[in-house]
Amino acid sequence: MNIFVLMKRTFDTEEKISVANGKINEDSAEFIINPYDEYAIEEAIQVRDEHGGEVTVLTVGSEESEKELRTALAMGADKAVLINTEDDLDEADEFSTAKIVAEYLKDKEVDLILAGNVAIDGGSGQVGPRVAELLGINYVTTITGLEIDGTSVTITRDVEGDSETIETSLPLLVTAQQGLNDPRYPSLPGIMKAKRKPLEGLELDDLDLDEDDVEAKTETVEIFLPAEKEAGRILEGDLADQVSELVTLLNKEAKVI
C-alpha cells in the first residue's frame, strides 16, 4: 500500500507566544511535530505493518523541518520528502500549500493519505480536504478509528462529540482526531536507522510550479496578542457563603446564569 502522511512542524504546545515586528517571535521556541500529525504518522505505520507497503512523510516548509521529518522516520516511516518553499514564497496560505502538496502527489498513485485534522498553530484544518479535492479522491475528517479490508475502509469519525461509522473505499484521505491511537516515541535503534533513511528535498521548480501558480488568496495584515486578563476575585469566608456570593455574582453582576 502506498501511504503518505502530510506533516507540519509547529510550536510546542507549552510555548508562550510573543509578537516581534508584527510576526510571531520564533526565537528560542521549541518546535514539534503537530500533535494531530503524530496520530496520522502512527496510524500510517500501523496500517503499513498490517497491510504492507511504504509510508512517506511529506512536509512543505523550510530546511528546519528536516528535524521533525527525521523524528517521523525514527518513529518508523520509510521515506521523507521536504518541499522547501523558503526561497520562493514570502506568503503562503492554505490554497498555496494544498496546491503544492497535490502537485507532488498527483502522479504518485496514492492509496491512503493521512494528515492531522488541524495544525495547532494556524488552526484552519484546510489542507487535507483541499488536497483530496485537488486529487479527486474522497476524504473523511476527524477520524478516531480506521479499518482497511482490501480496498474497503470502515471509519469511526468524531463529530462534535458524537460518533459516526462510515463505509468508504481507497484511495482515500483521512485526518486524524485525538483518540485514534497512542503515538509511539522513537526508539534508540529507530533514531539510528532514521539517519540513513531517504529524505528527499524539492523546490517549486522541481514540481513545475512557479510562484504565481501558488500565490496566496488571503493575506495576514496584523498579528496581535489578546489583552492580558486581569486577575479576578478570590472569594473569601465560609465555603457556603462563598458559593452563595459566587452564584449571586454570576446572576446579577456577570449575568451569565
Residue 27 in contact with another protein, rule: CB under 8 A: no
Q: How many angstroms separate the CA atoms of 225 and 237, rounded?
A: 36
- Among positions 111-130, residues that touch another protein (CB under 8 A) are 120-130
Choose one: 40-48, 61-69, 70-78, 133-141; the region binding another protein (CB under 8 A): 133-141
Q: Contact between 104 and another protein (CB under 8 A)?
A: no
Which residue do the cell numbers 532514521 mark? 194
Smallest separation, CB 189 to another protein (Å): 27
Query: Using the rule CB under 8 A, is 188 a contact of another protein?
Result: no
Total residues contacting another protein by CB under 8 A comes to 79
The phi, psi pair for 162, rounded to 5°, reads -85, 170
Binding piece for another protein, criterion CB under 8 A, among 43-51, 89-97, 183-191, 198-206: 89-97
**8 A C-beta contact, residue 146 and residue 76:** no
For the CB of residue 105, give the shortest distance to another protein in the complex, in Å.
14
Q: Strands 152-159, 162-169: parallel, antiparallel or unpaired by DSSP?
A: antiparallel
Using the rule CB under 8 A, is 138 a contact of another protein?
yes
Enumerate residues 28-67 that contact another protein by CB under 8 A.
35-36
Residues 6+ apart with CB under 8 A from 201: 81, 82, 84
Considering only residues 197 to 216 of the shown chain, the ones binding another protein according to CB under 8 A are 216
C-alpha dist (Å) from residue 134 to 69, 191, 206: 24, 34, 19
